[in-house]
Amino acid sequence: MGISQIFFAIVTIYALWSAYKKFMGIRRNIFLGKDEDLGGEEGKRWKNVALVAFGQKKMFKRWIPAVFHFFIYAAFLMTQVELIEIFIDGFFGVHRFFAPYIGILYPIIISVIEILSVLAFVATFAFLARRNLLKIPRFHKSEMSWWPKLDANLILFGELALLIGIFSMNGADTVLQDLDPKHYPDTGFLAISGWLGPLLFGGLSEGWLMLIERSGWWLHILTVLAFINYLPISKHLHILLAFPNVYYAKLTPNGQMENMPEIMNEVKSMMGLTEDTGEVAMDEELPEFGANDIFGLSWKNIMDAYTCTECGRCTDMCPANITGKKLSPRKVMMDIRDRAEEVGANLDSGQFKYMKEEDRKTAKALTPDNYDDGKSLFDYISTEELHACTTCNACVEACPVLISPLEPILKMRRYEILTESAGPSDWLPMFNSIENSGAVWALSEDRDKWATDAVNAEKTE
């Protein structure tokens, strides 16, 4: 085994192990949320994956960015073939492993990859221009300053590095096939490198060509390994999570809200629709309604947050945001992800200062069950944002990967109103009226008095 193989193996194994640990941390953070059964109707779920995740169906509601996004997406999928070959070449010290085995198909596959790479090259510059020159408004909201803005640009520059690596490697290799056919087997004519390679590198010595070819090869694989480790801290995690997130998306109509069994059973009891099971003991702990932290959300809500592409289509379509209110559905999802990251980092630290005070003397380790850092989602998302939501579902309809920002908003509002007995001052009279008289507007008489009077009148006739 040569030095190059050993170095490749060490770098690759370390990078993949490092990425694995990061992805396991994200998995742990997602499952800090409550359990939620989202099984069933597998046919519909796989159809959604095919149309929405693979087919990019909802992206094409805005066809110009959708076409550019498709170029990058298709190039990303196809280049995995060449990437597999690079891994094989790197571990076993061979060159163009697939070329002699698949024959005429090899130049066809690589040519398709190169054509898609050129289109991705164009799309990358288009996206850089949209974000930095055209300054599309949804990319310049308050939540998109500093890291979110830098993150989007970094990944685009990473795309350019990948493409430069591919064409440097293939272009120099094309010229070397004529100079040293023993070590650089004929791959057939490649659609782009077949003419670009001789044009750029045709007059260079064999030594320089080998340096360019190896530099392009290493640039490509190192960028890929860096990208894999970068994904867990980037919005581009949706490349992986979009598929399970779409699969587990709720299949109910967007306007259908989730019932709270505790409330529903209480209402049924008040209306005499359930059997009388006796009064609830006074010392029985009341259930916690809604959610004030990630532990009160479902695991799907947290996966939604990690899947968010930060494209801003939800915020762009939100009527509250359009009219100048503080609410941004994108920010809500970003805040949930940031809070999950914060809790995850604190759990990893194992410090007892993040533990519930009553457990510090008896607990042996910090766990999600005894976690309490004195903070909650309300430290990230203000009540002003929550109250501005009209529950119109525009954000849910706009999301290209079936994320529902509305669900955590509703859960936080329910916690505020039902658990803390708080809420906007102009909402409270309505709630009190519903509780006392069964009607939105305060009434001096019972709401059903007219029915009682009618029954009594019939009896007296």
Q: Select from 341, 105, 141, 148 the least CA-distant residue to 235.
A: 148
Residues near 1 by beta carbon (within 8 Å), at least 6 away in sequence: 93
Indicate whether 46 pLDDT > 60.
yes
Which of 22-31, 175-184, 226-235 comes out lowest in average pLDDT?
175-184
Indicate whether 276 pLDDT > 60.
no
**How confident is the model at residue 154, as a pLDDT?**
94
Q: pLDDT, tens digit, for every residue of 62-85? A: 899 999 999 999 999 999 988 999
* Confidence grade of residue 275 (pLDDT, cut at 50, 70, 90): low
**How confident is the model at residue 454, as a pLDDT?**
77
* Confidence grade of residue 447 (pLDDT, cut at 50, 70, 90): low
Across residues 125-133, what is the average pLDDT? 93
Could you tell me the CA-to-CA distances from 287 to 13, 33, 218, 384, 458 in Å, in that order?
48, 17, 57, 25, 44
Indicate whether 319 pLDDT > 80.
yes
Structure letter (DSSP) for residue 371? B
Give the pair of three-digit tokens for residue 189.
């004519």
* Confidence grade of residue 253 (pLDDT, cut at 50, 70, 90): confident
How far apart are the C-alpha atoms of 459 and 254, rounded to whole Å?
Answer: 47
Residues near 22 by beta carbon (within 8 Å), at least 6 away in sequence: 229, 232, 233
Q: pLDDT, tens digit, for every residue of 223-242? A: 999 999 999 999 999 999 99
Across residues 415-443, what is the average pLDDT? 80
**How confident is the model at residue 368, as a pLDDT?**
94
Q: Are 340 and 371 contacting, i.e. CB atoms less than 8 angstroms apart?
A: no
Q: Select from 332, 420, 430, 338 the least CA-distant residue to 382.
A: 332
What per-residue string of b and e applies to 73-104 under the rule 16 or more CB within 10 Å gives b?
bbbbebbeebbebbeebbeeeeebebbeeeee
- Put residue 93 in one of left, alpha, beta given phi > 0 → left and psi -120 to 50 → alpha: left
| Largest separation between any pair of C-alpha atoms in the chain | 114
β-pair partners for 355: 371
**How confident is the model at residue 451, as a pLDDT?**
77
* Confidence grade of residue 279 (pLDDT, cut at 50, 70, 90): low
Which of 236-250, 260-274, 309-323 comes out lowest in average pLDDT?
260-274
Q: pLDDT, tens digit, for every residue of 98-119? A: 998 998 999 999 999 999 999 9
Across residues 248-259, what is the average pLDDT? 86
Indicate whether 282 pLDDT > 50.
no
Q: pLDDT, tens digit, for every residue of 139-176? A: 999 999 889 999 999 999 999 999 999 999 999 999 99
CA 410 to chain centre: 20
β-pair partners for 34: 298
* Confidence grade of residue 271 (pLDDT, cut at 50, 70, 90): low
Radius of gyration in angstroms for the set of CA atoms belonging to the chain, rounded to a whole number: 29
Which of 79-88, 166-175, 190-199, 426-435 comes out lowest in average pLDDT?
426-435
Q: Mapping DSSP to helix (H, G, I), strand (E, B) and coil, where does residue 355 land?
A: strand
Task: Kindly report the average pLDDT of the chain as a whole number.
Answer: 90
Q: pLDDT, tens digit, for every residue of 48-60? A: 999 999 999 999 9
**How confident is the model at residue 369, as a pLDDT?**
93
Instruction: Please give the sequence-ordered ranges of beta strands (E in DSSP) within 147-305, or none if there are none.
Output: none
Across residues 82-91, what is the average pLDDT? 93
pTM, 2 dp: 0.88
* Confidence grade of residue 193 (pLDDT, cut at 50, 70, 90): very high
**How confident is the model at residue 286, as a pLDDT?**
63
